[in-house]
Amino acid sequence: MTLADILAGVIVAALNAYVLLAGADFGGGVWDLFARGPRARAQRDLITHAIGPVWEANHVWLILALVLLFTCFPPAFAQLSIRLHIPFSLALIGIVLRGSAFAFRSYGGQRDQIQQRWGGVFAAASIVTPFLLGMAVGAVAAGRIGEEGRGGGGGFVSVYVTPWIDPFTIAVGVFALVCFAYLAAVYLTLETTDRALQDDFRRRGLVAGVAVMVTGIVALALSRGARAPLQEGLLGAPWSLPLHVLTGAAAVGALISLWRRRWRWARIAAAGEVSLILWGWALGQYPYLVPPGFTIDNSAAPPITLALAIGAIVLGGVVLFPSLYYLFHVFKGRAATS
Amino acid sequence: MPDLLAARSQMGMSLGFHIIFAVVGIGMPVLMVVAERRWLATGDEIYHELAQRWGRGTAILFAVGAVSGTVLSFELGLLWPGFMRLAGAIIGMPFSLEGFAFFTEAIFLGIYLYGWGRIPPRAHLLAGVLVAASGALSGIFVVIANAWMNTPAGFEVARGVITHVDPLAAMANPAAFTQTLHMLLAAYAATGLAVAGIHAYLLLRDPSNAFHRRALAIALLVGGPAAVLQPISGDLAARQVARYQPAKLAAMEVVFETERGAPLILGGWPDLDARAVRYAIRIPYGLSLLAFHDPRAEVRGLDGLPRDEWPNVPAVHWSFQFMVALGTYMAMVALWAAWVARGRGRREGGRVLAENRWLMRALVIATPMGFLATEAGWITTELGRQPWVIYGILRTKDAVTPMPGLIVPFVTFTLLYCFLGVIVAWLLYRHIVRSPTVPEELWRVVRTGEWSRKTGDA
């Protein structure tokens, strides 16, 4: 295992944290949109209350993954930025609108009508953004954007549009969205002691959990059209069968725990399930960063940059993890919800 | 619109938008912390109210700053993949460190905003201090990366290939210190004087308002010294530019011909074809004296450069002069305020400041100046580096993405930011006009009663 491998692993770990934390914040937006019934207002309040103190910190995992990517693997970052310009730009608009709308709603409006309007923007942006980010991941996994060269040849559409829009990437986009909504529903059961609200999100969690399985299988089936590395990795490698079994076990375990109202177990199992899926993708395309042209090895920055990046991560981690622990201890600890 | 121009416009617009929020994100936490510290020290409930209200205003601005900063970090690649491919390994280091600093800032801002009454008062104050410190650190790291683009260091170029990469030497580039100092002072001066200006406006209408008096005093305490020190740091920065970025200095001061004992040129219309400045005020030896602290020093002019390596001379010259003029005004007003409040205690100082109506008017005028000066300063340094993205190493046109049709994202993000700008301005306006109205005289009566009991519990 090289230094570059370790850093690629750190980037995946940061993405994993982004998916588990910010992903759930996006999912909160989904349930904000689908708030229904006599407790619609209470559901929205719960979501706002749960996201408020942590969403900005959760969002930074994406920035961390991004800066580590361009520091440690500059050519791969450049390639991604060129070929995925459109989905990334659209996702950025979503990120801007979602964050601003949430802040405007929380700190700005006091009249109900204005709150609702920002709530609508917040919810819509929470749906569009994960979908686009999922499509981008799908396009990378399918090996459609990693050809060598600067993306010349072909016309505008074939270089900048079609690589990230097709049934497979759409399936991955939907899958990402469903995963986020699932995580949010499961976490939200722990944010309240109100039995009726817990049951609202239990029901949503069960539906979303089944949807994760269905869309996951659809995406996997469609990946047959994807290029070799991912396909071989996901289905052929020695670790792939145990990984699939473990993921399935986590999925079933999460649903059973939800059914039996074991909220903490459900949270662990659901987070484990989604993490295993993410690592499955990462391992499946190892050693490629952006297949087929960019591997960890051929995109890596000089060793000194990598070594210093490790140093920065260790140094940053010493500050970051205790701070994060304190944040979640204050707002998400046992004392906070009871 | 050509793609290169669209990309530059989008980057400039994104930076120009974000920097307002970045500056506020660096400055406001300091104001909040001072107010909270005074509340804890004196038990004066107005300071508590002040810290909370400033916190709520900051939350909106910080959120917009966080998301517009995310846009910028993506845009580095979306618009300038050629730059990132070359520079990522060299200058990614400060960006990575900034990632961690920003993380710390976001974490403790969450704790600060939502933690009132949930954590012990001292822990809460400490969270505020950490927001202020990590905010400043974020700014420092980002500006170090920008300084590297102006004075690249920490690598060697052999036949077009980058070798001997040394990210630490890149961070310690010649412009790093002067640029970060200048930016940090700008953040405190701009925020402090803007807040002072807003409360000065409200004090003109209601001079005895205890809330605004305290707010004004704290804002001046943070912004005033920075505004006074800024010209000194500007001198350091300008001398650094004179040494390492002669083309930028030549554009800032419209020096067409290399000469000894160059005059300082104020205002004027640069005529590029005639290579002369019309209608300008000239101060003999002024430029040599300022740039090198030697009236006979040689200042290199644009004549040493091929025409296609000239920056946009009028734009750089005027934005630089505009910045200097605004900075000078701000330093003068800060000195005036210090003179008015000299030797007085906290409460008495607040009174004499609030009752000096001409000073209040001068402060109201200064409200937007720090932000305008910051924008003008960035236009100076960024346009002054053109046509290079990495000075002397990589041209901007060679760094831009091959994707066509860049006018579309430029227009889209411009509209998005205009929309957000209007909303933010409106929300802040509403937030400010709802300020409490407690007359100072009445306040002393109230304080001895109910309020002080409340603070005793807190």
Which of these, A179, A84, A146, lies nearest to A285 by C-alpha position? A146
Query: Is B367 within a domain?
Result: yes
Structurally, chain B folds into a number of domains equal to 1
Residue A192 Cα to chain centre, angstroms: 24
How far apart (Å, rounded) are the C-alpha atoms in residues A283 and A269? Answer: 20
What pLDDT digit, counting tens, does each position of A296-330 carry?
999 999 999 999 999 999 999 999 999 999 999 99
Please state at what angle helix A40-51 crosses helix A3-33, rounded to 10 degrees: 150
Q: Is residue B290 part of a domain?
A: no
The minimum CA-CA distance between B137 and chain A, rounded to whole Å, is: 13
- Residue numbers in chain A where pLDDT is lower than 70: 108-112, 148-153, 225-235, 334-338
**B437: confidence class by pLDDT, cuts 50, 70, 90:** confident
Tell whether B93 is covered by a domain. Answer: yes
Q: Is A330:B118 a contact under the CB 8 Å cutoff? A: yes
* pLDDT per position as a tens digit, B401-433: 999 999 999 999 999 999 999 988 988 888 887
Residue B80 within any structural domain of the chain: yes
CB A202 within 8 A of CB A189: yes
Average pLDDT over residues B138-142: 96
Q: What is the DSSP string of A27-77?
A: HHHHHHHT--STTHHHHHHHHHHHHTTTHHHHHHHHHHHHHHHHHH-HHHH
pLDDT at B458 > cutoff 60: no
Residues of chain B with pLDDT > 90, as a percent, come to 78
Mutate to test the interface with B, among A64, A95, A100 (most CBs of B within 10 A): A100
Return mean pLDDT, chain B: 91
Spatial separation of the C-alpha atoms in residues A26 and A92, rounded to whole Å: 14
Beta strands B269-271; B161-163: pairing state:
unpaired
Q: Check if the beta carbon of residue B15 is closer than 8 Å to that of residue B374.
A: no
- The residues, ordered by sequence, that sit 6+ positions from A81 with a Cβ below 8 Å of its Cβ are A88, B74, B77, B78, B81, B84, B401
CB atoms B89 and A74 under 8 Å: yes
Closest CA to A64 of B149, B92, B136: B92
Chain A positions touching B81 (Cβ under 8 A) are 77-79, 81-82
Cα–chain-centroid distance for residue A219?
16
Distance from CA of A231 to the nearest CA of B (A): 29
Within 8 A of B114 by CB-CB distance, chain A residues are 52-53, 331
pLDDT in tens, A77-123: 999 999 999 999 999 999 999 999 888 887 765 666 777 788 889 89
A333: helix, strand or coil: coil
Q: How far is CA B187 from the centre of its chain?
A: 4
The candidate with the shortest Cα–Cα distance to A130, out of A173, A185, A84, A188, is A173
Residues A52, B114: C-beta atoms closer than 8 Å: yes
CB contact under 8 A, A64 and B95: no
Is the residue at B436 inside a domain? yes
CB-CB neighbors (< 8 A) of A60 in chain B: 66, 99, 102-103, 106
Task: Please say if the pLDDT value at position B381 is more than 80.
Answer: yes
Query: What is the Cα–Cα distance from B19 to B11, expressed in whole angstroms?
Result: 12
pLDDT, mean of residues B337-351:
89
Asked whether B197 and B212 are in contact (CB, 8 A), the reply is: no
B87 to A74: CB separation less than 8 angstroms, yes or no: yes
CB contact under 8 A, B100 and A156: no
| A15 residue type, one letter | L
pLDDT tens, position by position, B118-131: 999 999 999 999 99
Q: Nearest-CA distance from A22 to chain B in Å?
A: 13
DSSP B379: H
Q: Does B66 contact A99 at a Cβ distance shorter than 8 Å?
A: yes
In the three-class reduction of DSSP (H, G, I as helix; E, B as strand; rest coil), residue B260 is classed as strand
Token digits of residue B446: 């109230």
- pLDDT at position A111, please? 61
B30-64 pLDDT, tens per residue?
Answer: 999 999 999 999 988 999 999 999 998 888 899 89
* Chain A residues with CB-CB distance to B413 below 8 A: 89, 93
**Cα separation, B258 vs B245, whole angstroms:** 14
- Residue B263 near residue B284, CB atoms below 8 Å: yes
**A142-169: buried (b, 16+ CB within 10 Å) or exposed (e) per residue?**
bbbbbbeebbeeeeeeebbeebbbbebb
pLDDT tens per residue, range B247-304: 999 999 999 999 999 999 998 899 888 888 888 899 999 999 999 999 999 999 999 8
Distance from the first to the final alpha carbon of chain A: 45
What pLDDT is recorded for position A226?
60
pLDDT computed for residue B444 by the predictor: 56
Residue B133 tokens, joined: 């410190």
How far apart CA A321 and CA A336 sit, in angstroms, is 19
Q: What is the residue range of B203's domain?
A: 3-243+313-457
What is d(CA B386, CA B409) in angstroms, rounded to the nearest whole number?
22
Contacts of B63 in chain A (CB under 8 A): 56, 99-100, 102-103
In a domain, residue B400? The reply is yes
Q: What is the pLDDT of residue A151?
A: 47
Contacts of B102 in chain A (CB under 8 A): 60, 63
Residue B457 has pLDDT above 50, yes or no: no
Chain A residue with minimum CA distance to B54: A107
**What pLDDT does B304 receive?**
87
Domains belonging to chain A, first-starting first, are 3-313 (1.20.1630)
